[in-house]
Amino acid sequence: MTDMNWMECNGAALRYALSGKGLRTLVLVHELAGSLNSWDALLPLLPVDLRVLRFDLRGSGMSEKVRGLLDLDLVCDDIVALLDGLGIGGKVIVAGAALGGAVAAHFACRFPERCDRLILIGPALGVPPERHAAALAIADLLDEKGMRAIAGDVFPKAFPEALWKSETEKRKAQARWLGADPLGYAAAYRMLVHANIRAELASIRCPVLALAGRHDPFGTPEIVEAATKVIPDVRFAVVEGGHFMSVQSTEQVAEAIKPFLQAA
């Protein structure tokens, strides 16, 4: 049974869903323009002995919207406040996809005493300096004209055409993506531009599984492997997926993460 509700955490109202009754808790952090529903297809494929916490990031889904700047410290503090508010103490397993991977990695660095294991699913590892101006221009365009203004360029790259199982599935995902709050998307995108996730990775002390999508143009397997090899205890694998593989290649992601979860 899934308990879906809202809670005010760290100054923002967050929507969350808590399911399962296991002794271990898995926290799922969604992608840019995603929500807790991004994990709907993965949820039944996870080990049954887990309690799973999904939530909408501040500014995303049905959580409180943001106007202005976001930063990773704030977003990670939101997670701790949500865990504490739900009475979930001690260490948790954290898995993040794309933007959620950046959040999850920063959480492991900021709160090592709360992170037992870390799963990075096509993690967004920041924006190279030479692309900062172009990335910030995209954020400005979102502020001015909304999601549809960037859909033609961004959506096909994030969700490779060849990986869709059906046209219906593609249309549903595209409609959900277009429904994201453009100002929240822009704020999160600017957060990524100004973040330096790669510099933090070497300080992660928990076991890490890093997954890269074979068809991900934003974080190729070569990029993800090179960036994450500085983590002291890391396992790396390539999944037949794109950037948002947890949505588009759910079964492959489940197969990749199950052994890591069961070893915890």
Q: How confident is the model at residue 191 (pLDDT cuts 50, 70, 90)?
A: very high
Q: How confident is the model at residue 2 (pLDDT cuts 50, 70, 90)?
A: low
Nearest in space to 27 (alpha carbons), one of 109, 86, 72, 67: 86
Question: For residues 83 and 92, is the Cβ–Cβ distance under 8 A?
Answer: yes
Count the Cβ atoms, other than its own, within 10 Å of residue 174: 15
Residue 26, pLDDT score: 99
> Is the per-residue pLDDT at 3 higher than 70?
no
| DSSP sequence for 140-195 | HHHHHH-THHHHHHHHHHHS-GGG-S-HHHHHHHHHHHHTS-HHHHHHHHHHHHH-
What pairing do the DSSP bridges indicate for beta strands 234-239 and 2-9?
A: unpaired
Look at phi and psi of residue 4 and say left if phi exceeds 0, alpha if psi is from -120 to 50, else beta. Answer: beta
**Long-range contacts at 129-132 (CB < 8 A, ≥ 24 apart):** 132/193
> Is the per-residue pLDDT at 199 higher than 60?
yes
Residue 263, pLDDT score: 84
Domains (ranges, CATH) in the chain? 2-262 (3.40.50.1820)
Residues with Cβ < 8 Å from 19, sequence gap 6 or more? 1, 2, 3, 43, 51, 52, 54
Question: For residues 42 and 96, is the Cβ–Cβ distance under 8 A?
Answer: no
Residue 250, pLDDT score: 97
Q: How far apart are CA 149 and CA 151, in angstroms?
A: 6
User: Which ranges constitute the DSSP H helices of 34-161?
Assistant: 72-85, 99-110, 132-145, 148-158
Distance between alpha carbon 17 and the CA centroid of its chain, in Å? 16
Q: How far apart are CA 210 and CA 214, in angstroms?
A: 13
Q: How far apart are CA 32 and CA 132, in angstroms?
A: 17
> Is the per-residue pLDDT at 214 higher than 70?
yes
Residue with tokens 């709907």: 40
pLDDT digits (tens, 9 = 90+) for 171-181: 999 999 999 99
Burial of 198 (0-12, 13-18, 19+ CB in 10 A): middle
DSSP state of 130: G
Residue 166, pLDDT score: 95
Question: For residues 32 and 244, is the Cβ–Cβ distance under 8 A?
Answer: no
> Is the per-residue pLDDT at 90 higher than 70?
yes
